[in-house]
Structure 1
Amino acid sequence: MYNQLQLQTSEELIEQYAPLVKRIAHHLLARLPSTVLLDDLIQAGMIGLLEAASKYDASKGASFETYAGIRIRGSIIDEVRRGDWTPRSVHRNSRRVTEAIQQIEARTGRDASDSEVAKELGISVDEYHNLLKDSLDSRLFSFEEMLNPEHEGPGESFANDDPGPNKHIEREAFLKALSEAINNLPEREKLVLALYYDEELNLKEIGQVLGVSESRVSQIHSQAALRLRSRLSEWQ
């Protein structure tokens, strides 16, 4: 049967799936500086939607909405990455935190606490929390990046060209390692990731669920991302 999507015009697709583009753009905007404009994210998302319409293959098993969501998010992420506004010092401090967590957990065999990481870095807990806050924006897409270890565009696993067997095996092994790493996170960090990525709650809504401030949710998310990165360092 001729793909119904091919019968739809670009205008019809934009009209039908514009709410999805806007929802994803709003969700990502909550984690970006005020200098980033919603309209820019929506425009990038619309490009992702049109790309999804041209590349979608129903035989791959994913619904168009699922596939389009991945392409939309990927297009927005690529647009933000093209204008990297993160100071080098923030990237450097994020690496320091990741390495500190890795060293502590290698020594103790358990989750590194805030106070332990701060001590390892030679700073106060408040200073450590400030580092997490500073690294928050730079690590916005760290979780997506870890889902995508080969740095290909998000959703490329749905592309028309099947990956080679070795690539497929490597990806399956990575996803298994990632799943285990997430399951072994401290409960609060695991919950924040689930609420943000699965339930798509914003930071304020997650704070209401946990009974903590939006700022604290940001810290927890950032620490979870850095902890995962430290535990999956062999894949980077």
Structure 2
Amino acid sequence: MYNAQGKLSQSEVLTRYAPLVRRLGLQLVAKMPASVDLDDLIQAGMIGLLDAASRYKEDQGAQFETYASQRIRGAMLDELRANDWLPRSMRKTSREVESAVHKVEQHLGRSASEQEIAEHLNMPLGEYQTMLQDLHGSQLIYYEDFDRSSDDEPFLDRYCVDKADPLSALLDGSLRSALVDAIDKLPEREKLLMSLYYEKGLNLREIGAVMEVSESRVCQLHSQAVARLRAKLREQAWSGVEA
């Protein structure tokens, strides 16, 4: 069904590209905490799709699906920004683990084992690993990292190109360089996991098969790696020098 201008109608756009919206939503929600609702992301993505359809012009030099994908992802990210999708309790736990990692590794002068971090937190290893599993979906960068009204002192301003949109900082050379350096210092298993997850795009089950561990263990190792990386970024921002 085309309108008078020869464009697909809204219903046709939604029908034809709904699988694209769902696929992009699944890719995003796979890296988010369990509290993020897929249906909410899909709904936001549909709005982004319609916006793309109304703005797209064939002479823009891009295929519609490529153009629409950018708009859909942007709408989903806006939805995450607009909602407090990370539970306050999870933020608190994430900060506790990050702080423990920083203190133990500063004291030891090397990467700390899970047992050493658990002892610093005065809890059994099993309890600490459960905490790590509960943190599945914890992110390298949160918007509050750039928010001076946050309870914590922000520590990523040093890397931020556009404070109105912290996601753009991910493309900044200084932050990219800092992340590459921090990842290179991870223990080998965690370095492999991060490569499989972020570079190869494998899910937790697939990574577990490669590493010959359970999916829940991959989840724990991922949370541990994220805590190490955030601690390293915070250390570099505090000191003002490369580690």
TM-score (norm 2): 0.68
Deviation at 1:37, TM superposition (A): 4.2
User: What amino acid is aligned across from residue 176 of structure 2 in structure 1?
Assistant: L
**RMSD across aligned positions (CA):** 3.8
Q: How does 1:33-112 map to 2 (within 5 A)?
A: 33=34, 36-49=36-49, 54=55, 69=69, 71-84=71-84, 86-112=86-112
**Partners of 2:67 and 2:191 in 1: how far apart?**
25
Distance 1:225 1:8, change over 3 A: farther
**Partners of 1:174 and 1:222 in 2: how far apart?**
20
Query: Do 2:36 and 2:85's aligned partners in 1 also have CA atoms closer than 8 Å?
Result: no
SS in 2 for 1:142: coil
- Match of 2:227? 226
SS in 1 for 2:94: helix
Task: Give the structure with the larger helix fraction.
Answer: 1
Are 2:199 and 1:198 equivalent residues in the alignment? Answer: yes
Query: Do 1:25 and 1:42's aligned partners in 2 also have CA atoms closer than 8 Å?
Result: yes
Structure showing greater radius of gyration is: 2
Moved more, 72-81 or 185-194: 72-81
SS in 2 for 1:229: helix
**Partners of 2:173 and 2:228 in 1: how far apart?**
21
Identity value in percent = 46
Per-residue CA distance 1:46-101 (angstroms, 9 max, x = gap)? 33455667499x99x99986776555444324323533254433222211110111
User: What amino acid is aligned across from residue 94 of structure 2 in structure 1?
Assistant: S
- Match of 1:28? 28
Gaps in structure 1 of 5+ consecutive residues:
1-6, 158-167
- Match of 1:142? 140
Q: How many pairs are equivalent?
A: 212
**Partners of 1:172 and 1:230 in 2: how far apart?**
19
**Partners of 1:62 and 1:189 in 2: how far apart?**
38
Query: Do 1:178 and 1:232's aligned partners in 2 also have CA atoms closer than 8 Å?
Result: yes
- Higher RCO structure, 1 or 2 (CA under 8 Å, sep 6+): 1
User: What amino acid is aligned across from residue 46 of structure 2 in structure 1?
Assistant: M
User: What amino acid is aligned across from residue 224 of structure 1 in structure 2?
Assistant: A
Gaps in structure 2 of 5+ consecutive residues:
1-5, 146-155, 239-243
Q: How does 1:157-196 map to 2 (within 5 A)?
A: 171-196=172-197
**Partners of 2:78 and 2:213 in 1: how far apart?**
32
Moved more, 207-216 or 223-232: 207-216
Q: Displaced runs of 4+ in structure 1, greater than 6 A?
A: 61-67, 144-148
- Match of 2:122? 122
Query: Do 1:101 and 1:117's aligned partners in 2 also have CA atoms closer than 8 Å?
Result: yes
Distance 1:115 1:84, change over 3 A: same
- Match of 2:152? none
User: What amino acid is aligned across from residue 211 of structure 1 in structure 2?
Assistant: E
Deviation at 1:118, TM superposition (A): 0.6
SS in 1 for 2:165: coil
